[in-house]
Amino acid sequence: MACYGDLRAWFRRRRRAILIAAGALGAGCVLYYGFTRYSAAALARARAVEEEESRLRAETEEERILHLRRHCDEIQLLADATTLPSLLAHLSERLFELVNLSELTRQLMAGKEGPQALTPDEKLNLWQKLKVSSFTRTLCAAWGMGLVQLFVRVQLNLLGRQLFISTASFGDLPFSTQHKFLAFGDFLPLHGIALLVQDVEEAVTEVMRDISLKKAYSFDELRDLLIQIQAAFEKQQKDWCRYLLPENDKLPEEDYPVAESSHSRDDDEQLLVAKARDVISSAEFQHTLGAVLDALLDTMVQDLLPYYQGQPAVGLPLAKLVPAVSSVGMLLDNRQDSKYVRAVAELPEVKSFSAMVYGSAA
C-alpha cells in the first residue's frame, strides 16, 4: 500500500539520524572501556554486547516499520469505513437544512399562474436566489466533504501515532481522552458548516452575480465557471481551522460525548487538538486540500456530462444548469460506496499526507 511506501520513505530519511545516534552510543562505549583499561576479555565482552545491541537495534527497527505499516494501513481503513460515513451523513443533513431549496422551488412553481402569480421582477429575484443557492449547496457539499475527509485523517493519524508511542513507552492514553478528541470531528457539521456556507455563497455571488440565466454554457465553459468559483473561494482563505476547530480549542459543553466528563482537565486532549491545529495550519495541509478540491471538482464535472448528451453545441442556458447542479449535489450524499469518497481516498497526495501526519507526530 502507498501508506507503507510513504512510511518507509519517512524512515529512510530519518535512518541516517538514527544510525548516527546509534554510532555515537557505540563509540561512547568503546571509549569508556578504553579509558578504564579493562582486560582484553572484558573488551571482547564489551564488543560482543555492542554487536548484540546493534543486531537488536536493527531488528527493532524492522519490527517498528512492520508495526507502523500495519497500524497506518488500519487507520486509513478505519477512517473510510467507520468514522467517515457517519460524519458525512451528518454534514449533508445540516447542509440541506441550512441551504434549503425546496421553499424557493415551491414559490416558483406556485407563482406560475393563478392568484399567486408572480410579477416578472419577483420571478427573476427568486431565480437569482435559486441560482446562487444551488451552486452554493453543491459546492459546499463537495468542499465540506473534502475538509471532513482530511480532518478525519489528521485526527486518526495523530491519535494512532500517540497510541503507538504510549504503548511502546508503557504509557496509557485513556479511552475518555480518545473519545473527547474524536468528538472534534463533529465540529464542522455542527458549527463550521454555517461559516462554510457563508464563505462559499460569497464566492458564488462574486463570480455569478451578473451572469444572466439565459447565458448558454458549453461543457468546458461550465467547468471553467466552477473552477473560477473554486479559485475565488480559495483566495478568501486565511485559515482552514476556522471551519474545523473551535476558536479556543474547546468544544461547547453539549458537544462532548455524553459519557465523558468534559469538566475534567485533560492535557492530553488539548495537546492532540493543538497538534491538529498545527497540522491544519501547515503548508502540507493547504497543498493536499488543493489536490482534494481539484479531484472533487473533476468528479462533479463528470457527473454533469450526461446533461449535455444530445444538446446543441452552444451548450445549455444557465437556467437549465441550475437544477442539474443541484442534482449533482445530491449525488454527493451517496452514503454507500461514494465515488467522491474514493476519489479523495485514492489521491497520492492524501496518502502521503496521512503518512506524514502519522510519522511526524512523535
Ligand X SMILES: *[C@@H]1O[C@H](CO)[C@@H](O)[C@H](O)[C@H]1NC(C)=O
d(CA 329, CA 21): 54
Q: Which is nearer to ligand X, 79 or 188 (CB)?
A: 188
Q: Pick one of 103, 122, 172, 239: the residue that binds ligand X (CB under 6 A).
A: 103
Outline where DSSP puts E strands in the chain.
216-217, 316-317
CB of 246 to ligand X, least distance (A): 25
Nearer to ligand X, 102 or 169 (CB): 102
Q: Does 113 bind ligand X (CB under 6 A)?
A: no
We find the least distance from the C-beta atom of residue 152 to ligand X, in angstroms, to be: 24
Segment contacting ligand X (CB under 6 A): 36-44, 97-105, 249-257, 264-272? 97-105
Applying CB under 6 A, does 38 fall inside the site for ligand X? no
* Cβ-based nearer residue to ligand X, 38 or 96: 96
List 60, 86, 100, 167, residue binding ligand X (CB under 6 A):
100
Q: In angstroms, rounded to a whole number, what is the distance separating the alpha carbons of residues 295 and 298?
A: 5
Instruction: Give dist(CA 126, CA 172) in Å, integer.
Output: 58
- For residues 151-190, which are near ligand X according to CB under 6 A? none
For ligand X, the closer of residues 82 and 100 by Cβ is: 100
For the CB of residue 128, give the shortest distance to ligand X in the complex, in Å: 19
When the beta carbons of 98 and 182 are compared against ligand X, the nearer one is: 98
Q: Which residues are CB-contacts of 102 (< 8 A; sequence separation ≥ 6)?
A: none
Q: Which residues pair with 316 in a beta bridge?
A: 217
By CB under 6 A, the count of residues binding ligand X is 5
Q: Judged by CB under 6 A, does residue 97 bind ligand X?
A: yes
Q: Given the C-alpha cell 481516498, which residue does it identify? A: 345
Under the criterion CB under 6 A, does residue 210 sit at the interface with ligand X? no
Rounded to whole angstroms, the Cα distance separating 156 from 2 reads 17
Cβ–Cβ < 8 Å for 91, 188:
yes
Write the CA distances from 316 to 211, 222, 246, integer angstroms: 14, 9, 42
Q: Which residues of 6-28 are buried (b: 16+ CB within 10 A; e: fewer)?
A: bbeebbeeeeeeeeeeeeeeeee
Q: Does 96 bind ligand X (CB under 6 A)?
A: yes
Residue type, 189: P
Residue among 97 and 253 whose Cβ is closer to ligand X? 97
Q: How far is the CB of 98 from ligand X (least distance, A)?
A: 8
Which residues neighbour 234 within 8 Å (Cβ) at sequence distance 6 or greater? 290, 293
Choose one: 55-63, 100-108, 255-263, 288-296; the region binding ligand X (CB under 6 A). 100-108
CA distance linking residue 141 with residue 99, whole number of Å:
11
- Contact residues for ligand X, defined by CB under 6 A: 96-97, 100, 102-103
